[in-house]
């Protein structure tokens, strides 16, 4: 018996798109809430007046830097989520299609990463190309 060749992902159904849209909206709302919480907790502010020890100041500055990096990553993810939601709302059939090849991305991949721009195969090709440079 010949080895089973993985099937090409199929285009998304309306129900799958609806499920992914709800997931994207929930993720976006959670990321916005995290950003609000960071600001409310003062994660981006350092009061040097309250810290006299250089070690404590270095620790606080490191924490602040980590918070800034996390916030930056969250904002990048929000941008991708917003892009995916715009594609869904445009209802032009572009959501769920690889921006590199035009092939369907696949529902399983989108359940894990609903903001994905590329099919798994194209993403791997891009990453291999980056490593070769």
Per-residue pLDDT tens over the stretch 30-74: 999 999 998 888 755 666 566 667 777 777 778 888 888 999 999
Position 6 in a domain: no
Structural domain including 102 reads 14-132
* pLDDT of the residue at 7: 63
CA distance 81 to 73: 12
Structure pTM? Answer: 0.78
Position 92 in a domain: yes
CA separation, residue 95 to residues 11, 38, 108, 127 (Å) = 10, 31, 14, 22
CA angle, 96 then 88 then 16, to 5°: 60
- Taking residue 55's Cβ as centre, other Cβ atoms within 10 Å add up to 8
CATH code of the domain in which 61 resides: 1.20.120.910
Position 8 in a domain: no
Total structural domains within the chain: 1
Position 20 in a domain: yes
Ranges of H-type helices in 9-103: 14-40, 54-90
Per-residue pLDDT tens over the stretch 11-32: 899 999 999 999 999 999 999 9
């Amino acid at each position: 018996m010949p080895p089973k060749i993985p099937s090409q992902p199929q285009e998304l159904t309306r129900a799958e798109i609806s499920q992914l849209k709800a997931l994207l909206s929930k993720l976006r709302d959670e990321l916005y809430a995290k950003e609000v919480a960071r600001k409310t907790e003062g994660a981006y502010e350092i009061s040097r007046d309250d810290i006299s020890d250089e070690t404590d100041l270095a620790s606080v500055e490191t924490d602040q830097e980590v918070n800034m990096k996390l916030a930056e990553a969250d904002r990048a993810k929000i941008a991708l989520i917003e892009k995916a939601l715009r594609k869904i709302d445009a209802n032009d059939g572009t959501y769920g299609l690889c921006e590199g090849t035009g092939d369907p991305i696949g529902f399983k991949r989108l359940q894990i990463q609903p903001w994905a721009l590329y099919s798994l195969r194209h993403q791997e090709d891009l990453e291999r190309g980056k490593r070769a440079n």
